[in-house]
Amino acid sequence: MSTLVIVDSGSANLKSIYKAAEMVSLKVIITDNPREISDSKAVIFPGVGSFNHAAAMIRDKRLTGALLEAIADEKPFLGICLGMQLLFSHSEEAVNVEQPAEGLKAIPGTVKRFPATLPVPHVGWNKVNPVGSHPLFEGLTGGAYFYFTHSYYVQPEDTRQTLALTDYGFPFSSAVVSKNLFGVQFHPEKSGPAGLRLLSNFGKIIADRG
């Protein structure tokens, strides 16, 4: 059993997250094999690009079942950027297509576009403020700067699932949690020491689960 898999959904920059995971001593493989995902101890699910395209790639690679199985088994699971958004029910990004793509529906809620009054995409460094204390943000509880690049943000139906907030014209959920399922809108692999600390904390969560 691999300790940790990075899911190759066909819509992610895998090298940078792989190198960042190695830097914090995580044993990791990159795979698009559903069996390896199902047999893993933990999952990182990165993503970049459009919601509709990524949802189609997941379906075409037959990854949906393995991802949902990992979530249902409460394995430590970290969605990054678009990977976080795909955990939600649906996205406004897919409204104007004939067959709007749905997300994995692991977290009830919507992926919404930033208002037209704000510069979009939201790109660059911004502060992430944890809501309360949580092992994923150990050592980062005072707020730290992480790197963002996105035009859409998540809005969970249950506000208690918001793990951290970031202000971009208004406070939005930049990290979410549901049991051992986590999502972050920012890129920890591009966020220097703070990002490495978060990945290290995720490794501790994996280790604590046994």
Active site residue 53: no
Q: Which of 81, 90, 93, 122 is catalytic?
A: 81
Examine the residue annotation and report whether 81 is marked as an active-site residue of this protein: yes
- Catalytic residue, candidates 90, 122, 150, 187: 187
What is the token pair recorded at 54?
Answer: 């990524």
Rounded distance between C-alpha atoms, residue 20 and residue 11, angstroms: 18
**Residues 6+ positions from 178 with CB-CB distance below 8 Å:** 106, 107, 161
- For 56, the enclosing helix (H) or strand (E) is helix 51-60
Q: Of 90, 93, 150, 189, which one is the catalytic site residue?
A: 189
CB atoms within 10 A of CB 129: 18
Which parts of 27-144 fold into alpha helices (H)? 34-39, 51-60, 64-72, 82-85
189 is catalytic: yes
**Catalytic site positions:** 81, 187, 189
